[in-house]
């Protein structure tokens, strides 16, 4: 039976994770869930972010379900570098998977894009680039201060995530992969990405390919999001593009993500993109859909494609039935989704 580590975290994290667990229990009875107390609250209480002992315990699970960590009272970087990015890097989660669909019933911000027309997935590299933590500063707080950030890219790291993107495209209807980078300015990393992309593309003659600069892609995600199927890109570009993709498909309240180690050597991690949203925490009004869609990604990764499909169908029914502007209650949505997800 699957062993899932649950990190509910801060803000609305515990509220949405409770619903995600209802759904998980409904579709995968007997799943073993262990809760881990990590995030801003623990850091405030104990000064600890991610003790080594916890990291070791997490490694023994099949997957991690994460709600949200973070709070304005914690200095920038502490939880991001110490917890989220630490897990992504320690567990070699090199595929940061972020699907975006404009679901029927959801009013997106784009006047000329209809529900059902957008169905894309961004395969964001998760273990390299500007997220490597390579950088420093000199002469801090003087007029001579200089600060650097270095983007590290390896053929190993770039090629494997591109391979994953093509494998996903092979399983989709449109079979198209768009590489996004900035080869005209970041010529060294850009050339590595472009050459690795061309090499993998040659092995997939049935997949259509295109290349776009990141600035053009940011624009086309707004003007023509329909054109994308699978998008593969580096860590930082992926961070930005997936928030745009979320925005044009109804907001991060609906956006799920998976930080995946495809080989299963380490646990993969699944989390809603929305973050802890301290402003609405504790009111029972957070939308649990993103957390529940993250459960669907988790199920798919663990080989339960049928269960994943049922969860997606339950979400589709839920969203199609919503009245625009109506207040939702987190727990009621969770109950409905759990009930509809049962076979």
Ligand X SMILES: CC(C)[C@H](C(=O)O)[C@@H](O)C(=O)O
Residues lying near a second copy in the complex (CB under 8 A): 76-77, 80-81, 85, 109-112, 130-131, 135-137, 139, 141-156, 182-192, 194-195, 214-216, 218-220, 222-223, 236, 239-244, 246-248, 251-252
Round to whole Å and give the CA distance between 259 and 261: 7
Determine phi and psi for 132, rounding to 5 degrees: -65, -20
Closest listed residue to residue 222, CA positions, set 331, 127, 113, 339: 113
- Specify whether 215 is catalytic: yes
Residues in contact with ligand X, shown as a per-residue x/- string from 236 to 265 under the rule CB under 6 A: ---x--------------------------
19 strand-pairing partners = none
Q: Which residues contact 8 (CB under 8 A, 6 or more apart)?
A: 14, 17, 18, 35, 67
Residue 221 has, within 13 A of its CA and on its CB side, a CA count of 28
Stretch that binds ligand X, among 77-85, 132-140, 164-172, 191-199 (CB under 6 A): 77-85
Chain residue whose CB lies nearest ligand X: 80
Is 234 annotated as catalytic?
Answer: no
Cβ-based nearer residue to a second copy, 3 or 155: 155
Site string for ligand X, 156-185 (x = CB under 6 A): ----------------------------xx
The helix (H) or strand (E) run that includes residue 133 is: strand 129-138
Minimum distance from residue 325 beta carbon to ligand X (Å): 28
Stretch that binds ligand X, among 58-66, 80-88, 156-164, 193-201 (CB under 6 A): 80-88
3-state secondary structure 264-322: CCCCEEEEECCCCCHHHCCCCCCCCHHHHHHHHHHHHHCCCHHHHHHHHHHHHHHHHCC
- The number of residues that bind ligand X (CB under 6 A) is 7
Q: Among a second copy, ligand X, none, what binds residue 56 when CB lies within 5 to 8 Å by partner kind?
A: none
In this structure, is the dihedral angle defined by the CA atoms of residues 194, 197, 199 and 205, taken in order, positive or negative?
negative
Given 25, 239, 266, 335, the catalytic residue? 239
Is-catalytic flag, 279? no
Distance in Å, CB of 191 to a second copy, minimum: 7
- Give yes or no for a contact between 287 and 253, defined as CB atoms under 8 angstroms apart: yes
Q: Which is nearer to ligand X, 84 or 256 (CB)?
A: 84
Residue 80 as a binder of ligand X (CB under 6 A): the answer is yes
- Give catalytic residues, as residue numbers: 131, 182, 215, 239, 243
């Amino acid at each position: 039976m699957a062993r899932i580590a649950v990190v509910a975290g801060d803000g609305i994290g515990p509220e949405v994770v409770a619903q995600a667990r209802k759904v998980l229990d409904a579709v995968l009875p007997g799943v073993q869930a262990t809760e881990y107390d990590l995030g801003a609250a623990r850091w405030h209480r104990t000064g600890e972010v991610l003790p080594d002992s916890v990291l070791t315990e997490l490694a023994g699970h099949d997957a991690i379900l994460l709600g949200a960590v973070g709070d304005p009272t914690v200095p920038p970087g502490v939880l991001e570098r110490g917890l989220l990015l630490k897990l992504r890097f320690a567990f070699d989660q090199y595929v940061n998977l972020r699907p975006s669909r404009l679901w029927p019933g959801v009013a997106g911000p784009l006047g000329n894009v209809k529900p059902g027309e957008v169905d894309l997935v961004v395969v964001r590299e998760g273990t390299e680039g500007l997220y490597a933590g390579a950088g420093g500063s000199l002469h801090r707080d003087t007029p001579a201060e200089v600060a650097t950030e270095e983007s590290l890219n390896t053929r190993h790291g770039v090629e494997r995530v591109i391979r994953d993107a093509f494998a996903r495209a092979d399983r989709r209807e449109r079979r198209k992969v768009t590489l996004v980078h900035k080869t005209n300015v970041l010529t060294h990393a850009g050339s590595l990405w472009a050459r690795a992309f061309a090499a993998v593309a040659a092995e997939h003659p049935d997949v259509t390919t295109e290349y776009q600069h990141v600035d053009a892609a940011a624009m086309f995600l707004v003007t023509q999001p329909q054109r994308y199927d699978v998008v593969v890109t580096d860590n930082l570009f992926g961070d930005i593009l997936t928030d745009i993709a979320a925005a044009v498909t109804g907001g991060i309240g609906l956006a799920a993500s998976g930080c995946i180690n495809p080989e299963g050597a380490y646990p993969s991690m699944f989390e809603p993109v929305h973050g802890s949203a301290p402003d609405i925490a504790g009111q029972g009004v957070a939308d649990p859909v993103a957390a529940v869609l993250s459960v669907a990604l988790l199920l798919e990764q663990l080989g339960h494609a049928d269960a994943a499909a049922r969860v997606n169908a339950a979400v589709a029914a839920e969203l199609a039935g919503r009245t625009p502007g109506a207040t939702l209650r987190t727990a009621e949505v969770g109950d409905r989704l759990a009930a509809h997800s049962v076979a």
